[in-house]
Structure 1
């Protein structure tokens, strides 16, 4: 790009055909894909290594809830056959190693600039280009920018008085030390019992002198099938990769085999809980534990069935956890299905250990952190280590922390704050031409196999950029009317369901972030239908977008 083609104010900026923000699963594949189109691409990554979410979330017990052979790239048969997974559900270290293998195998690092945090992106309307600025003052200019920033990459900082006064060690699940941390003989607190906390508790309990689990909201969690592959098992799966990938394309969540969503997707196939006798209900939890309380067709669709399932789930927990008060505190109060299912490895059993104490914050909230521990309304807990597992500003948080300005200088964070987390297809936001988002609000995103959904987005975006360039256009931009229609359609599809229930406070609807507009924006009809709709839109000359 010649200097005269650069946006105003971009003198000295390095020109590219496309800038990608993030070098996790999405950014790596996007770089490979855009390179294949002959584009000059630069990936900007805040960390010093590839990996995205799986680089930062190194907490004890971190593990994927989708089978390894499906939580992997499908675009390359060579990658599929060359990489050898060791576990059915891969742990953090194995996924991080896999992404480094891919980066090296495809020679991607030469186009990735590490330790580069993007702080601003500004669209120049006259030149139809984006100026991207970094924390270090570097500037890049490109007609296209793709945010491969992840859906769970903007951690929420705990807002607790006295946090900075703690004299012990403060750890955060989303930036856990790479070298690990020795918890042996320590009095440890885990604050938060979402997926991260549930995974960490059993592992930390085995190391710590005493573990205090600070729980604000009890979660539904199902036993994990995680295990090592048997000898010859992976080779058999590799021989069937074509069959497995084909099945993924027709699976509601983009995972044909094991996933945390299987119970939700298949619930309609089970009998009715309201129609079941008391003997049948008890037999279900005797035979299948907590899962027996939830495997009924009407649990997510009939409020009375949902209440009964929660009560039955509590009975199942009480059969595992010996202390009645602890078991009662571990029983959720929100309707099942309003949050992403959690899978665990011995979570409830851990509360039978003598060195584990549940602190139910519904009975007494945290008042402050002192130099020596945590004080609640019901008592004081002396601690050596506090591990915070307090969640993320999902879907939009990574971009709202960047100063993103579109047409007329409109600030993206202000738009999402006022209008809610909306976009068209989860791919673009009206008013921000040539800025593509991977798995943005309005896409299947968190309600799917992230990798399968991501690959579709990368391929769709690459095709769209090719269409803009081949057609002699300069910009592609979502129309406000199409964007509103898309989000209104999602809203109507989930009306009356558990995901919009008043008691459902989830990162799915933004309720976990103070001040964030509450709305459900994850596409609910599944990945195959979403892919079909996106294909139709592209075939119709990118209906709902303006190419100019």
Structure 2
């Protein structure tokens, strides 16, 4: 039998209107919203189910630091009325159940490809489409790509050698085994004292025979005062949900809290102490109440010092050993310029005889050895190692994908000196690509769900605008991008935030450009700016029409074709 030498016929990539990268809270809502307006959507998700960060972060004590009644979707009044939360700060399992409930309720999984990672998105100039490729061999052609992979999803290990040599088991808080870990009778080391470590350390200490915490930078933490909801509490909130949601949308941090009216320096010390005492002791208070205690704590060093010293005094009261207490007291950066943590028995845990604190500023970490951890002072023998070493935040999930825009330009190269975007939603040179929860937005300094909903609604409206006006592309103008980057820097420069070496600046990742990556203008003002841009015909964007795709935009986005094909006004037009 003769064998044909002809090459097999090439299978053309499947075509969709939109590819969404990630199936956390951002990706799920993007899928739902885009399907509602008639788009065909394919979502790719690395995990085996929905939930994003709440699928992966299953470490002991993992819970949200925003109240559950606020950390939830508002787009569907029936959804928010039917779901019942159990306590003030929801645990990881409860949030994951909520995400799964949303996926079931809106039948989202049928358009999500799980256990699949997007490796590359490449812009095809002739077709005005993106070629999206995955680690499973998929190739999908999409008019738009929406990156919803999250600001805290690319985890990092310590920047010291030897992890692969460790003979014990090691675990990263961002990739915790789903079956859990039993530390009973074990000598455990924890590297890191950020938010996840502050939640995990008290629980690990209850199990382990001996716990050693390796701290480079101490963090400020306030009591969580977590508690189950009293009878009738949820009903009261749900009766006011529409009012509270609107307040959150126009607020500074995406949560309805009173707006401060006084400077910390204009009240007498006794009144200032009363305000801080309420924030520290009131079981109904949370992060928003601390950030909003006074008008100037985030912008004036002297005002900030009053809040920082108040918390340091509480640490000294709680921790019995004076040297340990001082080691736990942050002293070289302003309070609130790193994400303030909420804690349950964190500082109290250091009063245990079987818990030890190693100050890596006094004796830096040298290497991880087969037997444990070596500092410049000594080697610590350990059975298990917990890495609470954080993330390549805000940009890492995007630069880990080979994203190539016009002329083959790589996003990773463009962002080598720091991220550049317009409104944090779009990047010049990368048409028809949008980002949810990325750099140069308020997302990570807000109630994330509020920012996610605003992003998704703005992006889906922009995609509808392109379709309704028979356009092919929407792309940030370079001048608009330059102006937004400058504005983000200018706003940050009026605050104390740049004085702190935090992941907001990328300073936790070796070799990463130091650039403050968060828009500090506030959730409400940011929303107003985005709405203004859209109302002016997407001012600051280039809106283009390609002969190859003219007339197809409406059909594929499910929008009827009107007689008039003129596009809306814009500051820039191709």
What is the TM-score with the length of structure 2 in the denominator? 0.88
2:509 alignment counterpart: 513
- Correspondent of 2:262 among 251, 259, 269: 269
1:91 & 1:357 partners in 2: Cα distance? 27
1:283 & 1:143 partners in 2: Cα distance? 56
2:279 & 2:431 partners in 1: Cα distance? 51
Shift of 1:379: 2.0
Distance 1:443-1:299 versus aligned 2 partners, 3 A rule: closer
1:432 & 1:16 partners in 2: Cα distance? 18
Residues 1:91 and 2:87 are matched in the alignment: no
Shift of 1:137: 1.7
Whether contact under 8 Å (2:53, 2:153) holds in the other structure is yes
Shift of 1:234: 1.6
After superposition, residues 529-548 of structure 1 pair within 5 angstroms as 529-548=525-544
1:6 alignment counterpart: none
What is the DSSP-based 3-state SS (H/G/I as helix, E as strand, rest coil) of the residue aligned with 2:151?
coil
Shift of 1:136: 2.0
What is the DSSP-based 3-state SS (H/G/I as helix, E as strand, rest coil) of the residue aligned with 1:85?
coil
1:14 alignment counterpart: 14
Whether contact under 8 Å (2:424, 2:440) holds in the other structure is yes
Whether contact under 8 Å (1:336, 1:498) holds in the other structure is no
Whether contact under 8 Å (1:289, 1:316) holds in the other structure is no
1:293 & 1:491 partners in 2: Cα distance? 24
Shift of 1:239: 2.3
2:192 alignment counterpart: 192
Distance 1:286-1:111 versus aligned 2 partners, 3 A rule: closer
After superposition, residues 393-472 of structure 1 pair within 5 angstroms as 393-418=392-417, 420-472=418-470
Whether contact under 8 Å (2:166, 2:370) holds in the other structure is yes
Distance 1:374-1:83 versus aligned 2 partners, 3 A rule: same
Shift of 1:115: 0.7
Shift of 1:327: 0.3
2:561 alignment counterpart: none
What is the DSSP-based 3-state SS (H/G/I as helix, E as strand, rest coil) of the residue aligned with 2:80?
helix
After superposition, residues 133-152 of structure 1 pair within 5 angstroms as 133-152=133-152
Shift of 1:308: 5.5
- Residues 348-375 of structure 1, C-alpha deviations (whole Å, 9 max, x = no match): 1111111111111111011222222111
Shift of 1:214: 0.7
2:181 & 2:411 partners in 1: Cα distance? 38
Distance 1:288-1:521 versus aligned 2 partners, 3 A rule: closer
Query: What RMSD over aligned residues (CA atoms) do the two structures have, in Å?
Result: 2.2
2:10 & 2:538 partners in 1: Cα distance? 30
1:107 alignment counterpart: 107
Distance 1:287-1:322 versus aligned 2 partners, 3 A rule: farther
Whether contact under 8 Å (1:57, 1:173) holds in the other structure is yes
2:77 & 2:348 partners in 1: Cα distance? 41
Structure 1: gaps of 5 or more residues: 1-8
After superposition, residues 239-250 of structure 1 pair within 5 angstroms as 239-250=239-250
Distance 1:297-1:541 versus aligned 2 partners, 3 A rule: closer
2:295 & 2:10 partners in 1: Cα distance? 58
What is the DSSP-based 3-state SS (H/G/I as helix, E as strand, rest coil) of the residue aligned with 2:347?
helix
1:365 & 1:63 partners in 2: Cα distance? 30
Structure 2: gaps of 5 or more residues: 1-8, 283-288, 545-574
2:10 & 2:487 partners in 1: Cα distance? 40
Residues 1:392 and 2:391 are matched in the alignment: yes
2:296 & 2:167 partners in 1: Cα distance? 50
Residues 1:325 and 2:318 are matched in the alignment: no
Whether contact under 8 Å (1:487, 1:521) holds in the other structure is no
Residues 1:523 and 2:511 are matched in the alignment: no
1:62 & 1:222 partners in 2: Cα distance? 16
1:40 & 1:315 partners in 2: Cα distance? 57
What is the DSSP-based 3-state SS (H/G/I as helix, E as strand, rest coil) of the residue aligned with 1:484?
helix
Q: Which moved more, 1:472-481 or 1:336-345?
A: 336-345
Whether contact under 8 Å (2:264, 2:272) holds in the other structure is no
Distance 1:144-1:479 versus aligned 2 partners, 3 A rule: same
Distance 1:383-1:405 versus aligned 2 partners, 3 A rule: same
Residues 1:170 and 2:170 are matched in the alignment: yes
Whether contact under 8 Å (2:54, 2:96) holds in the other structure is yes
What is the TM-score with the length of structure 1 in the denominator? 0.92
Distance 1:97-1:285 versus aligned 2 partners, 3 A rule: closer
- Residues 67-110 of structure 1, C-alpha deviations (whole Å, 9 max, x = no match): 11111111111211221111111111100010000000101111
Whether contact under 8 Å (1:423, 1:440) holds in the other structure is no
What is the DSSP-based 3-state SS (H/G/I as helix, E as strand, rest coil) of the residue aligned with 1:121?
strand
1:497 & 1:370 partners in 2: Cα distance? 42
Shift of 1:235: 2.3
1:389 & 1:18 partners in 2: Cα distance? 35
- Residues 301-328 of structure 1, C-alpha deviations (whole Å, 9 max, x = no match): 3334444554443332111100011001
Shift of 1:287: 7.9
Shift of 1:181: 0.6
Q: Which moved more, 1:396-405 or 1:435-444?
A: 435-444
Distance 1:54-1:364 versus aligned 2 partners, 3 A rule: same
Shift of 1:172: 0.5
Distance 1:37-1:312 versus aligned 2 partners, 3 A rule: closer
| Count of residues in correspondence between the two structures | 528
Distance 1:388-1:187 versus aligned 2 partners, 3 A rule: same
After superposition, residues 222-371 of structure 1 pair within 5 angstroms as 222-256=222-256, 266=260, 269=262, 271-272=264-265, 276=268, 298-307=296-305, 309-333=307-331, 334-371=333-370
Distance 1:512-1:27 versus aligned 2 partners, 3 A rule: same
